Structure 1
C-alpha cells in the first residue's frame, strides 16, 4: 500500500549540515515536499511559531540549546503554538540514560544514528498512524511514555499506574509520571 506524505510539513533541526542533507534526501524520497531546516534550535523555535509543522525531527546534542531543551521549549513554552506536535529525536548516543532523558523531555520517537530510510519511514508512519495520547502532570507534559511489551501486553510491573488520565488532567493517578517501564 502506497503512503502519501506529500502534504506533511517537516522541520529538521540539526547543527550538522551534512545530516540536514541526508535527512532532506530521505524525506524527499518519501514524497515529503515541505521541509524546513534549521541549524539553530532557537531559530527553529521561531519557525515552529511562524510555520505550521506536522512533525519535528531534531538532533539530541547541539551547541548552546540542545535537543532536550528544544523539545521542552516546544512542549511547555507559553508561546508554543503546537505542544502536541510529534517530535522524533536523533542521536549517535544510544545509552539507556540518553533514551530515557529524551523520553522524559517529551520526545515522541527516538532514532539512533546512523539513521536508515527504513527506520525513519517507520517512525514517521508511527507518529502519523498511531499517535499516542498526551499526559500532563506536575513534572511532565508529552506523549504517554508507557509502551506495550514485545509480546503486545501492557506493562504490569510495580510502577504500573492504576489509571491514566489524558491531556487536560492535572495529575496522573498513581504517581508523578516517572514510569521506568516506558522507553
Structure 2
C-alpha cells in the first residue's frame, strides 16, 4: 500500500496504486513550492515529475509531449499554481480545456492556490478544474487529491459554455420534471 510515515501517522490511499508509470507536470513560480510538490510526488513513487516556472512553460511542455515523439511521453496529471506570470494557472486551465488534442484537453488538472474563497474555487470549477488544493500543501492534502483523481474519476461534460469534469460531486434526489435532452 502507498503510505508515508509523517510525524508518526500513516497516510494512505484507500487502495494500492503503482504510480511508477505516472507522469506529472507541476507549474509553480515559487521555487520552494515547486520543490515541495515535486519532492512529495517523488516520495509517493510517481514515476516522472517535470516542474516548470509558469503557464507558458507548461504549455510548451504539454505541446512537446503531445507531438507524438516517444522520447517525450504524455502527461497524466497537472498540478498548477493559480497566481503565476506571464501565464497563470487559470489561463493555463482554460487553454488545456480548449485544446484540440484530447490527450491534453482531458488531463486531470489540480489547481493549487493560497486563495480558497468560494469565489476562487467556483471560478476554477467553472473553468474545468478537476481538484482544488489550498496552500499550504502537505503530504496528506496531495494524497487526498491524488486519491480523488484516481478513485473518483468524473465524466467530462460539454455544453455551450463549459467543458470539463462533471461539476456534480454527489447525487441529489430530484422530484421535478426531467428537462435534460
Q: TM-score range by the shorter chain?
A: 0.7 to 0.9
Query: Residues 1-183 of structure 1: matches in 2 within 5 Å?
Result: 1=1, 2-51=16-65, 52-78=74-100, 81-148=103-170, 154-156=171-173, 162=178, 173=180
Deviation at 1:81, TM superposition (A): 4.0
> RMSD of the TM alignment (CA)?
2.1
Deviation at 1:49, TM superposition (A): 1.7
What per-residue deviation string (whole Å, max 9, x for no partner) do you get for residues 115-164 of structure 1? 1111101111221222100000111100000111xxxxx23479x9947x
Structure that is richer in strand per residue:
2
Deviation at 1:63, TM superposition (A): 1.6
Structure 2-normalised TM-score?
0.81
Deviates more, 1:122-131 or 1:94-103: 122-131
Structure 1-normalised TM-score?
0.80
User: Which residue is 2:9 aligned to?
Assistant: none
Gaps of 5+ in 2: 2-15, 66-73
How many residues end up aligned between the 2 structures?
159
